[in-house]
Copies of this chain bind each other. A is one copy, B any other.
Amino acid sequence: MNQTLFFKNRIAVRSRASMVGPKEGKGPLAEYFDVIMPDDLLGKPSWEQAESEMVRRTVLMCAEKGGLPAESISVVLAGDLLNQLMSSGFAARELGTPFFGLYGACSTFVEGLVLGSVLIDGGYRENAVCAASSHFCTAERQFRFPLELGTQRPPAAQWTATAAGAMLLDARKENAPAYVTHGTIGRVIDYQITDASHMGAAMAPAVADTIMAHFQDTKRDFRDYDLIATGDLGWIGRNLLKELLIQRGVKVDDEKLFDCGANLFYQEQDPHAGGSGCGCVASVTCGYLMKLMEQRDVRRLLVVGSGAMLSTTSQQQGESIPGIAYAACLEGE
Contact = CB atoms under 8 A, between A and B. Distances in A.
A313 B83 CA distance: 8
Interface stretch (A26-34, A35-43, A111-119, A292-300): A111-119
Interface in A82-132: 82-86, 89-90, 92-93, 95-105, 111, 115, 118-119, 121-125
A93 B190 contact: yes
Contacts of A99: 185-188, 324
A216 to B, nearest CB: 13
A140 interface: no
A250 interface: no
Contacts of A96: 187-188
A194 interface: no
A102 B185 CA distance: 13
A248 B7 CA distance: 40
A319 B45 CA distance: 12
Contacts of A218: none
Contact of A317 (B48, B125, B185): B48
Given A84-B310, A122-B121, A124-B118, A46 B317 contact: yes
A187 B98 contact: yes
B115 A100 contact: yes
B102 A48 contact: no
Number of copies: 2
Contacts of A123: 122
A149 interface: no
B104 A101 contact: yes
A232 B45 CA distance: 33
Interface in A181-205: 185-190
Nearest to A45: B317
Contact of A311 (B5, B84, B101): B84
Interface residues of A, number: 59
B188 A311 contact: no
A239 interface: no
A121 B119 CA distance: 11
A278 to B, nearest CB: 12
A312 interface: yes
Contacts of A49: 317
A314 B100 contact: no
B90 A100 contact: no
Contacts of A124: 5, 118, 122
A71 interface: yes
Contacts of A93: 188-190, 309, 322
Given A83-B312, A93-B322, 4 more contacts: A75-B185, A99-B186, A118-B122, A118-B124
22 contacts: A5-B125, A48-B314, A79-B103, A82-B311, A82-B313, A83-B312, A84-B103, A84-B309, A85-B103, A89-B188, A89-B324, A90-B314, A93-B188, A93-B189, A95-B188, A96-B187, A96-B188, A99-B187, A99-B188, A100-B102, A103-B103, A118-B124
